[in-house]
Amino acid sequence: MKNQIVKIISVQHVTHDVKRFTVQKPEDFQFLAGQATEVSVNTPALKNEKRPFTFTSLNDNKNLEFTIKIYDSHDGVTKELGELKQGDELIIRDVWGAIEYKGEGVFIAGGAGVTPFIAILRQLQADNKIANNKLIFTNKTEKDIILKEEFKDMLGENFINTLTDEKKEGYENTRIDYAFLKEKIDNFKQHFYVCGPPKFVTAISEALTQLGAETDAVVFEK
């Protein structure tokens, strides 16, 4: 697919440092829940600065959506994205594989690593197939939790949160590690989906394997 220039329809805050970008969807554009594309800001200085972002909309939605954490302290693409507004333009490219849903299981996310799971869980909800899927989500503080209410509505008690830098009623206050996973999961012969910073993914994948998860049942972003 050739590069596609798309206009931003709206920009909204999801959390204090995460924004939802709704953009035009090119004609006949197709993708699967969990897939991503490389995105650039369409300006002379940034059009060749590509960053991967997962679609958080569904394929049959009228527009495309990206949910992106903005790093104002970094002089980079996400800082520039944070300054964009309605009418500005992005460049999107080929769709590529990221995380693929293989069946009911446990989603484990660290911070903005939850974004590949958003469309997958939304698609399952739309298809009435949310079933017993579970999301274990770790963040520094409560204000960092992306789409907290939506996940709670979708998953109910199967939405488990832990905060590492804040003690707050109703939340675990620990990291996701071997002991935490052993306590929260009673079946390690199911699918696991893991996304977050590289060290997080490695540590969780190793812990799951130690707890009996099959290597090919642990799906993570490559």
Total count of residues recorded for the chain: 222
- Residue 118 CB contacts under 8 Å (≥ 6 apart), including other chains: 54, 56, 67, 146, 147
CA atoms within 13 A on the CB side of 5: 7
**What span, in angstroms and rounded, lies between the C-alpha atoms of 113 and 183?**
22
Q: Tens digit of pLDDT per residue, the chain (222 long)?
A: 689 999 999 999 999 999 999 999 999 999 999 999 999 999 999 999 999 999 999 999 999 999 999 987 766 788 899 999 999 999 999 999 878 999 999 999 999 999 999 999 999 999 999 999 999 999 999 999 999 999 999 999 999 999 999 999 989 999 999 999 999 999 999 999 999 999 999 999 999 999 999 988 899 875
What per-residue confidence (pLDDT) applies to 74? 65
Contact 146, 14 (CB under 8 A): yes
What per-residue confidence (pLDDT) applies to 2? 81
Q: Tokens at residue 130, please?
A: 């949310």
Q: Taking Cα atoms as reference points, which of 188, 195, 199 lies closest to residue 220?
A: 195
Domains annotated on the chain, with CATH: 4-96 (2.40.30.10), 105-220 (3.40.50.80)
Decide: helix, strand or coil at residue 33. coil
CA atoms within 13 A on the CB side of 108: 26
What per-residue confidence (pLDDT) applies to 83? 94
What per-residue confidence (pLDDT) applies to 1? 67
Q: Please give the radius of gyration of the chain, using alpha carbons only, rounded to the nearest integer.
A: 18
What per-residue confidence (pLDDT) applies to 220? 81
Contact 88, 97 (CB under 8 A): no
pTM: 0.94
Q: What is the 3-state secondary structure (H, E, C) of 143-200?
A: HHCCCHHHHHHHHHHHEEEEECCCCCCCCECCCCCHHHHHHHCCCCCCEEEEECCHHH
